[in-house]
Amino acid sequence: MKRNSIVTTDWEHCFICGTTQNLQEHHVFFGTANRKQSEKHGMKVPLCMNCHTGPNGVHHNKELDIRIKQLAQIEFEKNFSFEEFMKLFGKNYR
């Protein structure tokens, strides 16, 4: 698992529920163009299979998706800037 994330330094636990089982890498901004930017800027978090692609996981749960994006945006702005965030991802989640 790649660990160049600006959102978290803890890759031993699921970002949402804290479990250590079945962890996968989630690109906070997914979709063809966004995934590349997520990779480039370290907008990634570890999620367990359940919180990732499960029925209530981030890929099926809009609320959870927004929550993670919001946290990622805050971290992004600490490392880069709000202007850069808007340029890259085009939407304010805060």
Binding site for Zn ion (CB under 5 A): 14, 16-17, 26, 48, 51
Distance from C-alpha of 86 to C-alpha of 12, rounded to nearest angstrom: 30
Residue 70 or 81 with smaller CB distance to Zn ion: 70
* Shortest distance in whole angstroms from residue 13 CB to Zn ion: 8
Residue 26 or 41 with smaller CB distance to Zn ion: 26
Pick the closest to residue 68 from 34, 39, 94, 32 (CA basis): 94
Question: 58, 51 in Cβ contact below 8 A?
Answer: yes
Question: Looking only at Cα atoms, what is the longest distance across the chain?
Answer: 37
Pick the closest to residue 65 from 79, 45, 84 (CA basis): 45
* Shortest distance in whole angstroms from residue 66 CB to Zn ion: 14
Residue 48 or 88 with smaller CB distance to Zn ion: 48
* Shortest distance in whole angstroms from residue 35 CB to Zn ion: 9
Residue 63 or 83 with smaller CB distance to Zn ion: 63
* Shortest distance in whole angstroms from residue 59 CB to Zn ion: 6
Using DSSP's 3-state secondary structure scheme, residue 26 falls into strand
